[in-house]
Amino acid sequence: MDALLLAVLFLTFSTGKLPTLWAIPLLAALLIGRKWICGLIGRSGHGEMIALCGLFMALVIGAEGFTIVGMKADLGALFIGVLVGTHPKSKELSKSLSGVTDLLLVGFFLQIGLQGALTLQALAWALFFILLLPLKSIAFFFLFTRFHLRARTSWLSSLTLSTSWSSGAAR
């Protein structure tokens, strides 16, 4: 919960400008209108209609509404997501939007990849982090042995965690 609060604060203040006074009534209206928003999801049906409803709420109500009052669009979409997260159809909404989110994620990484130029400094940093990878395995082994796991189990577990593409993002 603390990480979410920090993310919200970062999104709020990262623009470097203060939101307008209309931000408070917008937040109040969204909190009061939560029942209406959840009713909209309930009446949207299934399939592509629930996906359109989710996109409408995230992009129009959340993102554009927050942009109008001087706040970041990301924060608006996040706020709408938190509001509808407890709705019984939220899992279905998440499944129907997964294709769109995957497409946007691929587009984001393509944009970053096309804009970034490979410099000698970036290459040096990459090589430095590659050289640090064995330390990750050693740290995992040390940690597991401190928790009194057997040496073989610690060794195999540390190798498994060290060779995964990102041990922090394992699902």
**Domain spans in the chain, listed from the N-terminal domain onward:** 2-101, 120-165
Q: Which residues of the chain have pLDDT under 70?
A: 1-5, 7-9, 11-15, 164-171
CA 46/CA 170 separation, integer angstroms: 30
What does the pLDDT read at residue 148?
A: 92
pTM strictly above 0.85 = no
Residue type, 87: H
Q: What average pLDDT is seen over the chain?
A: 82
Q: Spell out the alpha helix ranges (H) of 16-119.
A: 23-32, 34-43, 48-55, 65-68, 73-84, 90-115
Q: How far apart are CA 25 and CA 31, in angstroms?
A: 10
